[in-house]
Structure 1
Amino acid sequence: MRKMAMVIGFAFAAAPAIALAQPQQAVSSSDGRLAAASLQAGDFENAVKVLNADRIIDSASDPARLINLGNAYAGMGRMKEARAYYSAARAAPDMTLALADGSEASSRQIAIRAMERLSPSYAMR
């Protein structure tokens, strides 16, 4: 019983840290196709809809789209899917991306940092 309480407590402690970390790492675009506004608002389900709507063949390996899908799934607590999208972004061609906070970074570095946020040791910070 005590172990179960610790696991539940950890889950609640980890989830807010992960969800709160996502918006600042959201990749931004001027046309809204990358769902940065939905991610920042915490509307992760809408972000997934936007990111999967009218998918163009070329966007399947777009690291910006993959990272934001990872962010949306992490925000919903679906870590397995989030990890898969971050991993796909790491394998995609590297490019400089504009983040929602106005900074720029390598898509691979963003994906690596995002995957690190999924680890329990990061969430407990």
Structure 2
Amino acid sequence: MRTMIMFALAAGTFAAPALAGDRTGYQAIAAGDYTAAEKTLVNERRIFPHRPELMINLGTVYARTGRVSEAASLYRAALASEPVEMALPDGGAASSHVVAQRGLDSLAPVALAGR
């Protein structure tokens, strides 16, 4: 059975709750309450340390609060984990690896060339 987890892509990537209640920090991230999101995600990762949506969401919190190296580590951990299929807000789907790579790419500085 494939796991379907909703996620959204806005200035970073985060997964929406797949279960009753907000156990993935989605609502807190969407509301900009990164302290609450981080608390939820850290607690959930103690129980489910290998769930990529938790890694991706905590990576998003870290990225949005200036902890870029910690965010990158979590996105890489999600890339190294078993992929899960994630439902997109538009009804499409993407692998957690695609979502994690997008998060990692969003951390990279953009280089512009000029002459």
TM range (shorter): 0.7 to 0.9
Q: Does the aligned pair in 2 maintain the 1:33–1:50 contact within 8 Å?
A: yes
The equivalent residue for 2:74 is: 85
Evaluate the alpha carbon distance shift between residue 39 and residue 103 of structure 1 in structure 2; reply closer, same or farther with a 3 A threshold: farther
What is the CA RMSD across the aligned residues, in angstroms?
A: 1.9
1:97 positional shift: 1.7
Q: Paired residues, what number? A: 99
Evaluate the alpha carbon distance shift between residue 82 and residue 111 of structure 1 in structure 2; reply closer, same or farther with a 3 A threshold: same
Query: When you count strand as a share of all residues, which structure comes out higher?
Result: 2
The equivalent residue for 1:4 is: none
Describe the superposition over 1:19-56 as per-residue Cα deviations: whole angstroms up to 9, x where unpaired.
x512xx21011431001011111111211100112531
The one-letter code sitting in structure 2 at the alignment partner of 1:62 is R
Q: 2:28 aligns with which of 10, 27, 38?
A: 38
Q: 1:118 aligns with which of 102, 107, 110?
A: 107
The equivalent residue for 1:52 is: 42
| Aligned-partner SS, 1:105 | strand
Percent identical pairs in the alignment equals 36
Separation in structure 2 between the aligned mates of residue 102 and residue 35 of structure 1, nearest angstrom: 21
The equivalent residue for 1:14 is: none
1:120 positional shift: 1.0
The one-letter code sitting in structure 1 at the alignment partner of 2:98 is Q
Q: Which runs of 5+ in 1 are unaligned?
A: 1-19
The one-letter code sitting in structure 1 at the alignment partner of 2:27 is A
TM-score after normalising by structure 2: 0.77
The one-letter code sitting in structure 1 at the alignment partner of 2:107 is L
TM-score after normalising by structure 1: 0.71
Q: Who wins on radius of gyration, i.e. which is larger?
A: 1
Q: Confirm whether residue 75 of structure 1 aligns to residue 77 of structure 2.
A: no
1:98 positional shift: 3.1
The one-letter code sitting in structure 2 at the alignment partner of 1:21 is A
Separation in structure 1 between the aligned mates of residue 57 and residue 67 of structure 2, nearest angstrom: 13
